[in-house]
Amino acid sequence: MVRLLLSFALLLGIGKLSVVEAQPSGSTLTVPPQELERIRQILASVKATVEIDPRLSPQAPLLVRCPTANDALLLKLAQFPQVGGIHIADGRLCTAKGYAALKTLPQLRKLVVEHAVLSPASLAAITECAQLRHLSLIDAGLTDASITPLKALTRLEHLNLSQNPKITDAGLKTIITLERLQSLHLAHCRITDKGLMQLEALEALRTLNVVQTAVSTDALERLTDAMPNLRNVRR
């Protein structure tokens, strides 16, 4: 009853916190309001914001957004098992040491890193986060060879490798091993019609973004004809 009254009060705007969305029946958020406020205050000192994302695990529903990050911040985030998602807008100061700390987050399901230079060691550390469902590595200096370790992330459903122009048709051989992918973004990568047809192997794929690639309209039409689940395509 107390929890219901608290949720009702928050929805009415009476209090500092807001509940984004009700959780599915049988699941319980494990972040008390006082703990959430404490985490917000700690991370506010580094200009990071914290919100509840109902798409994450109920045991780790916190999404942390960082305008920039370094290893010290990643090590700090690793102290909070309630963190299930991290979005780094500028990751140029992060190294393998910081990414390696994230494997201690038991329910890290979402990681977004933009504008970074990911070394092989950094990418290998990221692939140790075995619970990842959503991974975005945008403008991260990736190549066909460097993305090979992504094969280890067998639970991935969303992958965004946009703005990595050294990823070519050859890199798709790694991507098609991720059988659970539902969403794939390859904007500004060097993908051609020949490579595109490899994606037929991803039977669960529903969304595909190949903006600013060498993929033609005819090739996309052939792919969508061959993949009935592929509904959302951008070129």
- The rounded distance, in Å, linking the Cα atoms of 170 and 123 is 18
Q: Which residue has the higher pLDDT, 37 or 3?
A: 37
CB atoms within 10 A of CB 136: 18
Residue 113 φ/ψ, nearest 5 degrees: -130, 125
Q: What percent of the chain has pLDDT over 90?
A: 86
- Per the CB < 8 A criterion, the answer to whether 196 and 217 are in contact is no
**Domain match, 126 and 147 both:** no
What single letter denotes the amino acid at residue 177?
T
Per residue in 94-152, pLDDT tens? 999 999 999 999 999 999 999 999 999 999 999 999 999 999 999 999 999 999 999 99
Q: Indicate whether 205 belongs to any domain.
A: yes
> What is the average pLDDT across 67-96?
97
**Domain match, 83 and 128 both:** yes
Q: Indicate whether 23 belongs to any domain.
A: no
C-alpha distances (whole Å) from 232 to each of 41, 95, 182 are 39, 35, 11
Per residue in 151-190, pLDDT tens? 999 999 999 999 999 999 999 999 999 999 999 999 999 9
**Domain match, 111 and 164 both:** no
- The predicted model scores a pTM of 0.87
- What pLDDT is recorded for position 10? 35
Q: Indicate whether 17 belongs to any domain.
A: no
- What pLDDT is recorded for position 29? 59
- Per the CB < 8 A criterion, the answer to whether 185 and 163 are in contact is no
**Domain match, 158 and 205 both:** yes
pLDDT at 11 over 80: no
CATH at residue 211: 3.80.10.10
Q: How many domains does the chain have?
A: 2
**Domain match, 127 and 152 both:** no
- What pLDDT is recorded for position 20? 36
